[in-house]
Amino acid sequence: MLAAFDVLTRIAAHAPQPGLSPIARVRNVIAVGSGKGGVGKSTTAVNLALALQRLGARVGVLDADVYGPSVPAMLGLSGRPESPDDKSIEPMRAFGVEAMSIGLLVDTDTPMIWRGPMATSALTQLFADTRWGDLDYLLVDLPPGTGDIQLTLAQKIPVAGAVIVTTPQEIATLDARKALKMFEKVHVPVLGIVENMAVHVCSNCGHAEHLFGQGGGQAMAAQYGVPLLGSLPLDLRIREQGDAGTPVVAAAPDSAPARAYLAAAQSLAAHLAGRPRASIPISATLA
């Protein structure tokens, strides 16, 4: 006699920085930072979110770059989120992932000419007023730098861990080091480093070339005693699919770039799983 079973995976909430408690419907907030722009942080955050979703997790993305939001374009999102009660907003969805961004609430060409307090208030409102579903992971795509947005995240939002994105070149790791040390100072555990644009493989001849240097991410990880979660390629498909609003993990899940993101997501999930669990009950309500 044959029996059928449904196997359910339950991802635990892990302890955030001291003084804050996780929100039950958003079990693990993961900050994705870089310290500088131009290293592919947003592209990495979006594709990591999709890779975690492919692994069976329930995932959301919060675009915390209020001055230059790019998550809506990368996920192919348009229109305005709905507000069922004129107080909270429903996240938009793409490829099985929930998303929220200031870019969904203003016109595409509208600049956000805000001082720091307005930007940080927008971040906390986007986090607290969004009607997130029952999420295992919420990836927060941070703006470049180590300023107001990052400090507000560390002080007011329960963060289970941070991921640092860098390219191999020294000029990028210099700023990535500052981002890593910032998270350490505010007691947010750094789960690891993702080295982006690590190698380019010619689509015609197969020659591999390290255009931005070699081993910078690995050296930084070794220096600070954190894992290297993955090395991602410099691949034309990543840029093309991101511009088209269909990230490579969704558009070409069996491609080499997608497999690299999947391996990094697996490593991220494994290292978070090794962190202490939160002491609050899962049934706690969303504040």
Our measurement of the distance from residue 256's CA atom to the centroid of its chain's CA atoms, rounded to an integer in Å, reads 20
- Joined tokens for residue 224: 């600070």
Q: Is 38 annotated as a binding residue?
A: yes
Q: Is 36 annotated as a binding residue?
A: yes
Phi, psi of 166 (to 5 degrees): -145, 165
Please give the C-alpha separations between residue 194 and each of 86, 127, 160, in angstroms, as whole numbers.
39, 25, 17
List, in sequence order, every residue forming a beta bridge with 97; answer none if it has no partner.
94
Q: Is 40 annotated as a binding residue?
A: yes
Of 163, 133, 220, 210, the closest CA to residue 46 belongs to 163
Q: Is 39 annotated as a binding residue?
A: yes
How many CB atoms neighbour CB 33 within 10 A? 31
Give DSSP secondary structure letters for 10-70: -PPPB--STT---BTTEEEEEEEE-SSSSS-HHHHHHHHHHHHHHTT--EEEEE--SSS--
Of 273, 258, 26, the closest CA to residue 132 belongs to 26
Q: Is 35 annotated as a binding residue?
A: yes
- 109 φψ region: left (φ > 0), alpha (ψ -120 to 50), beta (else): alpha
Q: Is 186 annotated as a binding residue?
A: no
- Where do runs of H (alpha helix) occur along 113-203? 116-129, 148-156, 170-185
Of 221, 218, 227, the closest CA to residue 266 belongs to 227
Contact at 8 Å (CB) between 193 and 199? Answer: no
Give me the numbers of helices (H) and strands (E) for the chain, helices first please. Answer: 9, 10
User: Which segments are annotated as binding site for ATP?
Assistant: 35-42
Binding-site positions: 35-42
